[in-house]
Structure 1
């Protein structure tokens, strides 16, 4: 194969398309992709793209000469464009500029790193870090640890799962919680505190998001479902009106914006009036429990070290069952599909019960720990399970400790597939990187280091991981939007390392280049 950083055969380029990456254009020139494998393991083909659509497919060498750009792709692989089905985009964009303490093995170690970083900042600038996992730490996060090392400015560390925040005294005072005894805020307290933090300007935040979108396109991403806790429809309408965003976006709705969305007659899947038609109404997001790392995921069994029946021993119930049923009935009656966060087995059972009572379409986000009897219910009820496979790789140690004896039914991807469930794969960025190849490799290998696979019986085939990362699209068909990705290796035959770091040659969104060596 030729150098992936050059057009394979420049002599076949009749009219290079040098438009900047961004939204699909009605004036984008026609394009013929020659000598490309049509799908993973597919036949060598020529593919004709016009007006943003796949217009024709020919055996390799048989596409007629036509107007527009013609590229010889030298036997590379053409795949449906990739989606990340669970992203917090503003947090992901901001995280790329924050201190990473994910490698800290203790509260002391995380505090030491925070102190070193704070010493490099201008006076008065808040110190913000991310990625801590206290579920396995030998010591507890406490404001006094941070106070000793960062006494002169607000300091805040956000946990890897976004369900905890650890602040020093100055940080607590900044968010109106100066009397908090420990400085470790969880669940609603954490969300409220983060919402009160000083933020970058709208213009700067949008610039960061745009940069993150361009980086996502370079990994083959053509669309995301954004679960940022914000007015996502308004924010993405502004971004897409002001700049050429190189992704499709399904913008979720949260409770504060729900009634306004219903009042406007918005429905999940509806395309909104933005340049290129790239913005659609996403699902309604609701949390029923917490997370594993914070021991707030709602489970049938008590967590180790707690007394069964005492408050918090089984996790946190965010929404009572009857209220959940009422909410699902309310949003679905207005054409808005629910996306319900449920991690513990008790939370998943409760959520499936609600879907069964209401009989509406929707999704369960995460579905990390499942009772065996509930696994077939996803397919029976038509509920998509939105999974984040990198969590299984990164959570294996904390799961072995806090879900001991139950991990055979944690992150049960293969069992769900065997039962007929529809899987939607995502990253939960910033909890894991916004990289679909890392996501797929985690689902396929069940390991992220040199250790053997964790519960290898729950690995899934590459083809199913690709489908789960492509909104279920397994084939490229004539008439489809030309949302496509060109890879230098075939995912079906790639080894684990290549799959994880897949070299992406180019990405197309509705026939317009959003990534490629000629841009």
Structure 2
């Protein structure tokens, strides 16, 4: 069975319409006067290669859609008040915590605390998960429930927070899988054909279960974390391996290791101190995995064929990650690469390390960056500098940290602006063609012989203004 897409305008190939013949899962031919078993007239609409989101936490994204939205809060008191209103209007099922998501406290005028949260809701466990997934704010009942009774502040960061976020995912498999499927279908409707899933879980068994139950909305490359590394090696897993029983849609992704925190939580590991934290034990942020330990993990993973993907946000964390890649001599990725030393820019290309960056986070964090990375923001989210230095650029969302929408990512990369604000360091913007190439899994344009992963849109993404691209139909 073949399908003919008639009167398509292939982005990057001129304005003349062409027909695209699809069969057997691939593009059989491109031209005029072709015929197929079935046909659809695209009426001059534009066609681009299927879009990939190179960094997603899909289960967390699905769960976030069902939590109290805290993304617009501007103070701790407001966030606590919203949780109280949610408890009043839609209390959680008996025995379950009330969960909010999306707060960013970097610029709040007041400090979050368990005592403050208790003053609004003290009869059920309440957990607020930060928008960057690196921090949780709990009331006293929740602290006791999750093993942190008597905690001094109620604010858990990094390795203290991750067990809580993992426990909040403890819903029946069938329920979570249905929510994940719903989120995947919404992503596909926006043009995403594949994603790299960095969920902090045993991902291959979870995704194999979903595909066995009929999931077919997306291609998925599923990452493994340190706690699952030995199991993956014992199973003979390697990055790029096609997992049996999934019709080729599930592959083994990279080996993920986090070595620092995040900007908004002020735990990204930086060469300079954070203003206001000069006398803190995290004045420079937090290095969660020392360089020698990182190198050992990368040697172990890469020897088994698992491509390392290192989470590094602060400039010092990125330097340490690149040092480890240099010692190990393997290719790989750095996830986020948000703040970079100028001297490290050419090392990405020299070492064969891709920069996996989430441009919309620059729009979320520009105010926080201006405050805590003052004088250094010209090298934050440095997309243009990375490309000019020859680095491979991979774009994504880090959903639920930013929307799971490739056009939002695209717009942030080329416009560096949102909400009517002036562009933030426009010298680091990239072109629409470069953004598209960084979002299509290595495919620069629709070509015969490629997989038939195609997206049809109303407008040419190479010719639309950044603000309009966010609403790409």
State the TM-score, normalizing by the size of structure 1.
0.89
Structure-1 separation of matches of 2:250 and 2:325:
27
- Structure 1 unmatched ranges of 5 or more: 1-28, 504-519
Distance in 1 between residues matched to 2:34 and 2:284, nearest whole Å:
65
Aligned partner of 1:511 in structure 2 is none
1:304 counterpart (271, 275, 284): 275
Match status 1:190 vs 2:161? yes
Aligned residue for 2:206? 235
2:39 paired residue number:
70
Q: 1:452 aligns to what?
A: 422
1:82 corresponds to which residue?
A: 51
Query: Residues 418 and 467 of structure 2 are in contact (CA less than 8 Å); yes or no, is this contact kept in structure 1?
Result: no
Change (3 A) 1:198 1:171: farther
- CA deviations over 1:36-65 (Å, ceiling 9, x no partner): 01224534211111101100110xxx2233
Pairing 1:326-341 to 2, within 5 Å after superposition: 326-341=296-311
| Residues in 1 aligned to 2:34 and 2:197: alpha-carbon distance in whole angstroms | 41
Q: Say whether the 8 Å CA contact 2:104–2:264 is kept in structure 1.
A: yes
1:351 CA displacement? 0.4
Per-residue CA deviation, residues 171-203 of structure 1 (Å, 9 max, x unaligned), is 111111111111110000000122233722110
1:345 to 315, 321, 325: 315
CA RMSD of aligned residues (A): 1.2
Q: Distance in 1 between matches of 2:115 and 2:169?
A: 22
Q: Does 1:396 align with 2:366?
A: yes
1:374 aligns with 2:344: yes
Alignment equivalent of 1:314, drawn from 270, 284, 301: 284
Correspondent of 2:248 among 270, 277, 283: 277
Show the counterpart of 2:6: 34
2:123 maps to what in 1? 152
Alignment of 1:184-223 (within 5 A): 184-197=155-168, 199-223=170-194
Contact map agreement 2:461 2:469 (CA 8 A) in 1: yes
Matches of 1:119 and 1:78, distance apart in 2: 48
1:408 aligns with 2:378: yes
Deviation per residue, 1:133-185 (Å, 9 max, x gap): 11101111101111111111111100010010001111111111111111110
Contact map agreement 2:4 2:34 (CA 8 A) in 1: no
**SS class of match (1:395):** helix
Q: Pick which of 118-127 and 281-290 moved more.
A: 118-127
Measured after TM superposition, the shift of residue 493 of structure 1 is 1.3
State the partner residue of 1:490: 460
In structure 1, C-alpha distance between the alignment counterparts of 2:435 and 2:247, rounded to whole Å: 28
CA offsets, 1:208-258, max 9 Å, x none?
000001001100000000000001000000000002321000000011211
Instruction: State the Cα deviation string for residues 356-382 of structure 1 (Å, max 9, x = none).
Output: 111101000000000000011101111
Q: Which residue of 2 aligns with 1:97?
A: 66
Instruction: Name the structure, 1 or 2, with higher relative contact order (CA <8 Å, separation 6+).
Output: 1
1:417 match: secondary structure: helix
Unaligned runs of 5+ in 2: none
Distance 1:431 1:495 in 2: 24
In the other structure, the counterpart of 2:392 is 422
> How much does 1:472 deviate?
2.3
Partner of 2:22: 49
Q: How many Å apart are 1:120 and its aligned residue? A: 1.8
Matches of 2:243 and 2:385, distance apart in 1: 37
Give the TM-score normalised by structure 2.
0.97
State how many pairs are aligned: 470
Q: Is the 8 A contact 1:52 1:482 kept in 2?
A: yes
- Contact kept, 8 Å, 1:175 with 1:197, in 2: the verdict is no
Measure, in 2, the Cα distance between the counterparts of 1:446 and 1:307: 31
